[in-house]
């Protein structure tokens, strides 16, 4: 299990629970810091998750477009997360939601599997929730960011469970 799930996953239309987590780079960060600048895609992940590994390069591509903020929320420690981010070229902000801290953000969002993503609007409302890998949802995120996420020559699976 990815976390100690206490609540069902939050649906679109729900208010995103506030959180304050350590940044991988040091210091704390709160959800409000991200939503103050616009909408943000929260991406809950684990470094050992194959579907997370599939997803990260596309999220990095989405991040590189510069029109949608992405915040990774790792369920691993800083050392493993740093190694993962280096390997997959992740440059977007990454926060740590660890087992030692009892996964406070993961539990608040109802995370049962990873990757799980939430598009949070500036007013704090969740406009999209994605569990696992769904190509159509990823294409919609790309469109929301004003870009085509997948290249024609890429063989991208339609769906993979998290």
Q: Which CATH number characterizes residue 74's domain?
A: 3.40.30.10
- Would you give per-residue pLDDT tens digits along the chain (162 residues)? 444 545 688 999 999 999 999 999 999 999 999 999 999 999 999 999 999 999 999 999 999 999 999 999 999 999 999 999 999 999 999 999 999 999 999 999 999 999 999 999 999 999 999 999 999 999 999 999 999 999 999 999 999 988
pLDDT for 21: 98
Cβ atoms of residues 145 and 70 within 8 Å? no
Domain encompassing residue 100: 1-7+43-145
pLDDT for 2: 47
Cα three-residue angle 36-30-143, rounded to 5 degrees: 50
Residue 17 included in any domain: no
DSSP state of 86: H
Residues in a beta bridge with 30: 20
Residue whose C-alpha is closest to residue 114's, from 64, 58, 62, 42? 42
For the chain, how many structural domains are there in total? 1
Residue 24 included in any domain: no
pLDDT for 5: 47
Helices (H), the chain: 31-35, 50-64, 78-88, 104-109, 135-144
Residue 19 included in any domain: no
Residue 157 included in any domain: no
For residue 89, count other CB atoms closer than 10 A to its CB: 11
Residue 129 included in any domain: yes
Task: Give the span between the Cα atoms of 146 and 66, in whole angstroms.
Answer: 10
Dihedral Cα 54, 56, 57, 63, nearest 10 deg: 150
Task: Give the span between the Cα atoms of 24 and 45, in whole angstroms.
Answer: 14
Residues in a beta bridge with 40: 69, 120
pLDDT for 162: 83
Cβ atoms of residues 114 and 75 within 8 Å? yes
Residue 154 included in any domain: no
C-alpha pair distances (Å), 27 with each of 6, 23, 24, 84, 150: 27, 6, 8, 20, 34
Residue 15 included in any domain: no
Task: Give the span between the Cα atoms of 127 and 18, in whole angstroms.
Answer: 16
């Amino acid at each position: 299990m990815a976390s100690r799930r206490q609540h069902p996953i939050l649906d679109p239309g729900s208010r995103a629970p506030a959180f304050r987590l350590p940044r991988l780079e040091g210091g704390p960060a709160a959800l409000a810091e991200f939503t103050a600048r616009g909408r943000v895609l929260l991406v809950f992940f684990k470094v050992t998750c194959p579907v997370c590994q599939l997803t990260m390069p596309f999220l990095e591509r989405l991040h590189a477009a510069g029109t949608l903020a992405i915040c990774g929320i790792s369920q691993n420690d800083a050392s493993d997360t740093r190694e993962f981010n280096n390997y997959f070229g992740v440059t977007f902000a990454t926060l740590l939601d660890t087992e030692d801290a009892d996964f406070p953000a993961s539990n608040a969002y109802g995370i049962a599997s990873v990757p799980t993503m939430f598009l949070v609007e500036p007013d704090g409302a969740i406009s999209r929730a994605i569990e696992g890998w769904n190509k159509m949802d990823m294409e919609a995120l790309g469109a929301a960011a004003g870009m085509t996420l997948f290249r024609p020559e890429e063989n991208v699976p339609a769906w993979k469970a998290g």
